[in-house]
Amino acid sequence: MQAEGIGATQSEASTDALIQAISKVNGVAIATQMSSSIKETYLNTDNREDYALTEDFQRNIVSNTKGVVRSWRILNAFQNPELNDLWVVKLEVDVSKYNSSKQLKRLRMSILPFRIGGDVSQIDNRTLFQKHFSRQLENYLTQSRRFAMLDRNFLSEQSKELSFIANEGVKIEEFARLGTRVGTDYIIVGEIEEARVTSKRRTMQTSDKTFIISKASGRVSYRIIDVASTQIKFSDTAEISVSGDGLAKAAESLANEAGETILNAIYPIRVVSGNTKQLTLGQGGITIKNGRTYNVVKLGGRIVDPYTKEVIGREEVIVGTVKIISVQAKSSTARVITSSEDLLPGIKNMSLIIRPLKHSDKSGSGKINDEYKKTQEIMKNSKESINTLEKNSENDW
């Protein structure tokens, strides 16, 4: 790449051009670190103009910058009368560049540790709930492959690795990795409002037999905040109540629900290809469950809020239902169950999305459909056990 520098001497102008080249390729942070090495190399020559233009000087620059500057050649050098005869040097510089992941072009998000609120006596349960909820939410959003999820929990480990890269003995091109950390667009924050396990002891009226019924419940409020403006982009409260004492499992189930809500609000699942019998969806991983049923929705015209004049979305018309039959890491396949119109035009112009069925969403009580089914199954098994107990222990009843 080409860069231009200015200085009292040709060598000073050349070193300035080198610093400018590094700044253009790897950013100001790397250029600032390299500038002292470049200037020190020049000063060690006792400001000898003839030496500063030799191949030895160039090799020293390459060594002292740890390979960030590979080589360069002078394209033009002259004294500019308009700048009080300062030297202007134009160089063609070969600079090592760290190619960041293409995923960083996505919307960048970070999940910060959720606050622990509510009853202090339940602090252990809330801490456990917070740990599993945050981790599963991060897993869900990462596997959606819609966001660039940035880590904010293991910064010390990351800093140690970058310090290792800066040491001698590491491949010199690796030094270009330094200074490439990026900031996040949105942060997800929230509070664990409730997380508890309650148990009740039940005794049969006709016998001395007792059994314990446990229930795990939790409630989380969360919001997505634009870091630059502090604007709240999205907020919601999710809650769950399931049979059993599995608080960690309850937290993970609730995180999946929250992740699905966030994802459907920002990036609903698109139909990317298919035919009248089978559709390919542009999403997979843990965000899609095999065997689950979804509505097929056709997107229409834009909807404008009459008060704010902002576009608040697009018209949505349910045109069918599908069932997931296969899930891959980045995509999934669904079988068409019903359709009220020909789906091929919508597939062709990419105007079809899928949404969870109404009964798959959280209900007013906050229970998830899957958890509700599990509860019903447990209740059924309990009744069967009691019936068996009645037959085998008629004297107790």
Quick check: pTM over 0.75? no
- In this structure, the answer to whether residues 138 and 242 fall within a common structural domain is yes
CA distances from residue 225 to 48, 103, 209 in whole angstroms, order as listed: 56, 21, 53
Residue 325 covered by a domain? yes
Q: What DSSP designation does 163 have?
A: H
User: Which sign, positive or negative, has the C-alpha torsion 298, 292, 248, 237?
Assistant: positive
Final residue in a domain of this structure, among 95, 113, 129? 95
User: Which sign, positive or negative, has the C-alpha torsion 236, 242, 245, 246?
Assistant: negative
| pLDDT > 50? residue 121 | yes
- In this structure, the answer to whether residues 190 and 244 fall within a common structural domain is yes
- In this structure, the answer to whether residues 119 and 237 fall within a common structural domain is yes
Domain encompassing residue 129? 98-267
Please count the structural domains in the chain: 3
Please state whether beta strands 186-203 and 115-116 pair in parallel, antiparallel, or not at all (unpaired): parallel
Phi, psi values for residue 17, rounded to 5°: -65, -40
Cα 339 to Cα 318: distance, rounded to the nearest angstrom? 9
- In this structure, the answer to whether residues 260 and 319 fall within a common structural domain is no
pLDDT tens figures, 243-275: 887 899 999 999 999 999 999 989 999 999 999
CA distances from residue 135 to 215, 261, 286 in whole angstroms, order as listed: 22, 16, 13
Q: What is the CA radius of gyration of the chain?
A: 31
List the CATH number of the domain containing 272.
2.40.10
The number of angstroms, rounded, from the C-alpha of 152 to the middle of its chain's C-alpha atoms is 11
- In this structure, the answer to whether residues 118 and 256 fall within a common structural domain is yes
- In this structure, the answer to whether residues 211 and 284 fall within a common structural domain is no
Residue 329 CB coordination number (10 Å): 10
List the CATH number of the domain containing 254.
3.40.50.10610
- Please report, rounded to a whole number, the percentage of residues in the chain having pLDDT higher than 70: 73
Question: So what's the pLDDT on residue 178?
Answer: 64
Final residue in a domain of this structure, among 267, 297, 331? 267
**And the tokens for 83?**
């700048």
Cα 374 to Cα 215: distance, rounded to the nearest angstrom? 13
pLDDT tens figures, 33-89: 566 666 666 665 555 555 555 566 666 666 556 556 767 688 888 888 888 889 898
Map tokens 């005794």 to a residue. 203
- In this structure, the answer to whether residues 240 and 250 fall within a common structural domain is yes
- The H or E element that residue 287 is part of is none
Residue 380 covered by a domain? no
CA distances from residue 298 to 59, 93, 229, 262, 322 in whole angstroms, order as listed: 63, 53, 33, 20, 13
Residue 210 covered by a domain? yes
- In this structure, the answer to whether residues 156 and 183 fall within a common structural domain is yes
Q: What DSSP designation does 157 have?
A: H
Residue 251 covered by a domain? yes
pLDDT-derived band at 348 (thresholds 50, 70, 90) equals: very high
Question: So what's the pLDDT on residue 371?
Answer: 45
- Highest-scoring range by mean pLDDT, 97-101, 136-140, 162-166, 364-368: 136-140
- In this structure, the answer to whether residues 117 and 87 fall within a common structural domain is no
Final residue in a domain of this structure, among 228, 243, 267? 267
Helix (H, G, I), strand (E, B) or coil at 53: helix
- Highest-scoring range by mean pLDDT, 19-28, 148-157, 369-378: 148-157
pLDDT tens figures, 335-345: 999 999 999 99
| Apex 218 CA angle, 216 and 222, nearest 5 | 160
b/e string for 243-252 if b means 16 or more Cβ within 10 A?
A: bbeebbbbbb
- In this structure, the answer to whether residues 104 and 244 fall within a common structural domain is yes
Cα 102 to Cα 335: distance, rounded to the nearest angstrom? 32
Residue 387 covered by a domain? no
**And the tokens for 298?**
């056709």
- In this structure, the answer to whether residues 47 and 196 fall within a common structural domain is no
Residue 33 covered by a domain? yes
Residue 105 covered by a domain? yes
Cα 88 to Cα 200: distance, rounded to the nearest angstrom? 84
Range from 134-148, 183-197, 369-383 carrying the lowest mean pLDDT:
369-383
Average pLDDT, the chain: 81
- In this structure, the answer to whether residues 224 and 121 fall within a common structural domain is yes
Residue 340 covered by a domain? yes
The number of angstroms, rounded, from the C-alpha of 117 to the middle of its chain's C-alpha atoms is 25
Cα 395 to Cα 379: distance, rounded to the nearest angstrom? 24
